[in-house]
Amino acid sequence: MIGSPNRSRRAYINAHVLAPAQGLDGPGGILIEDGWILAAGKDVTRDSVGSSATVVDCKGRVLAPGLIDMRVFTGEPGSEYRETLASASEAAAAGGVTTMIVMPNTQPVIDDAAIVDYVLRRARDTAKVRVAPMAAISKGLAGEHMAEIGLLKRAGAVAVTDAVKAVGNANLFRRALMYARDFDLLVVGHAEEPSLSGGVMNASEMAARLGLSGNPAMSEVIMLER
> In 3D, which of 110, 98, 106 has the Cα closest to residue 137?
110
Residue 35 in any domain: the answer is yes
pLDDT score of 35 more than 60: yes
Q: Any residues with CB less than 8 A from the CB of 39 and at least 6 apart, and which?
A: 2, 3, 30, 31
**Using an 8 Å Cβ cutoff, are 162 and 187 in contact?**
no
Q: How many domains are there within the chain?
A: 2
* Residues 79, 132 share a domain: yes
Q: Kindly state the percentage of the chain with pLDDT values over 70.
A: 97
**What pLDDT is attached to residue 3?**
54
Cα–Cα distance, 172 to 160 (Å, whole number) = 13
Same domain membership, residue 15 and residue 96: no
Domain co-membership, 57 together with 89: no
Shared domain check, 116 and 48? no
176 shares a domain with 76: yes
Domain that holds residue 148: 67-190
Q: 149 and 94 in one domain?
A: yes
36 and 145 housed in the same domain = no
Tell me: do 83 and 140 sit in the same domain.
Answer: yes
Q: Is residue 200 part of a domain?
A: no
Give the CATH number, domain containing residue 47. Answer: 2.30.40.10
pLDDT on residue 92: 97
Residues 187-214: tens digit of each pLDDT: 999 888 888 888 888 888 888 888 888 8
Least confident of 3-17, 93-107, 154-168, 192-206: 3-17
51 lies in the same domain as 98? no
pLDDT tier, 120 (very low <50, low <70, confident <90, very high otherwise) = very high
Instruction: Tell whether 106 and 32 lie within a shared domain.
Output: no
Q: What is the CATH number of the domain that holds 79?
A: 3.20.20.140
How does pLDDT run across 121-172, given as a tens digit for each residue? 999 999 999 999 999 999 999 999 999 999 999 999 999 999 999 998 999 9
Residue 210 lies in a domain: no
Average of per-residue pLDDT across 103-128: 97
Q: What is the DSSP letter of 103?
A: -
CA dist 18 and 30 (Å) reads 11
Domain termination site, one of 20, 40, 63: 63
Asked if residue 105 belongs to a domain, the reply is yes
- 5 pLDDT higher than 70: no
